[in-house]
Amino acid sequence: MSVEVCVCIPARNEADRIATLIDALAMQTVDRPFGVVLCVNNSSDDTGGVAQHAAARCEGRFTLTQIECFFEPPLAHAGSARRAAMELGAEMLGNTGLLISTDADCRPPADWIAANLAAGGSDRIIGGRIELDEADADEYPAIFAFRRHFDAYWQRVRAIEDSIDPSPWDPAPRHGDHTGASLALSVELYQRSGGVPLQPSGEDRALVEAAIVAGGKLVHPQTVWTRTSARTRGRATGGMAEDLQRWADAEARGELPNVPHFDHWEARALWRRDFRQGRGTKALMEAERLLPAMPCDMALPMVSGS
């Protein structure tokens, strides 16, 4: 059975979560066959066995290809695992088709694959919006409360950017997420980008940057989204769980997290707009990486009703 889409998943010690993802993939409404590649890496639990058992309940809804890897230091990190999954997915699809990255603690909605296909194109890099899994709300109430405030903050930041330096192919209203939890691009663009960089963290953002330099157009359609765990102890260094732990720590101290003032985002958008005149995208990204980090000089604004 030939497939046109492959979902690529790195997983390490995810026996408690992987069946939820497999079940969610079995519920996808997409009207064509798709493949799933699972790279179980450096695990000390039964992630692989749990995944196989869950997939067996799916009655052939998708093809699961599972590989077991053990990466030696210093390659025992998210970059190696995601690259292994994406490389195998690209090999399965051949020269055409759509690669979709996700994480083992995600729970996508039933139309996730279909929405990615609808937003896709040979030159598109599709970032999916990341929502905390509402199933975790009772366990992490403070984190969910903070998320409401952060959502409002980032919505205002996007409005500033869109008013000053809009993207012709990524119009408002858009979100701002493009992480490995929901990231799609064609096999051809993936290969032209050089694949997932072998770095311990931030490999997803680095892939996006490489794909942009290779001619890809980053889009953030509101129709593409997934849920991810609200856990505060993750598997990858520098991952979302570390941010959530900082939120929980701030709440325990009775404090609000600090964020850059909106004036900094306005200045950055003006800088981007002016810098890109007569220069290429690669030059812009390289120059922006050299800029000092924005100061976090404002308490996170609270939205009404909190």
Cis peptide upstream of residue 173 (ω within 30 degrees of 0) = yes
DSSP string across 212-238: HHTT-EEE--TT-EEEE---SS-SSTT
**pLDDT beyond 70 at 285:** yes
Distance (Å, whole) CA 64 – CA 38: 7
Distance (Å, whole) CA 140 – CA 119: 32
- Name residue 273's amino acid: R
Region 288-300: what's the mean pLDDT? Answer: 96
Burial of 213 (0-12, 13-18, 19+ CB in 10 A): middle
| pLDDT tens per residue, range 40-71 | 999 999 999 999 999 999 878 899 999 999 99
| pLDDT tens per residue, range 69-110 | 999 999 999 999 999 999 999 999 998 899 999 999 999 999
Distance (Å, whole) CA 296 – CA 289: 17
How many other C-beta atoms are found inside a 10 Å radius of the C-beta of residue 256? 16
| pLDDT tens per residue, range 125-181 | 999 999 999 999 999 998 998 999 999 999 999 999 999 999 999 999 999 999 999
Region 20-36: what's the mean pLDDT? Answer: 96
User: What pLDDT is attached to residue 70?
Assistant: 95
Rg value, the chain, Cα: 19
Distance (Å, whole) CA 275 – CA 58: 51
Region 7-20: what's the mean pLDDT? Answer: 97
**pLDDT beyond 60 at 306:** no
**Facing residues of 127 across strands?**
183
Query: Confidence band (pLDDT; 50, 70, 90) for 1?
Result: low
Ranges assigned E (strand) in the chain: 5-11, 35-41, 63-69, 98-101, 106-107, 124-127, 129-132, 183-186, 217-219, 225-228, 258-259, 298-299
Region 179-184: what's the mean pLDDT? Answer: 97
Distance (Å, whole) CA 191 – CA 182: 18
How many other C-beta atoms are found inside a 10 Å radius of the C-beta of residue 168? 6
User: What pLDDT is attached to residue 241?
Assistant: 82
Which superfamily does CATH assign the domain made up of 5-299 to? Spore Coat Polysaccharide Biosynthesis Protein SpsA; Chain A (3.90.550.10)
Place of tokens 């079940």: 23
| pLDDT tens per residue, range 219-252 | 999 999 999 999 887 676 767 888 888 888 888 8
Query: Confidence band (pLDDT; 50, 70, 90) for 3?
Result: confident
User: What pLDDT is attached to residue 252?
Assistant: 85
Distance (Å, whole) CA 170 – CA 285: 17
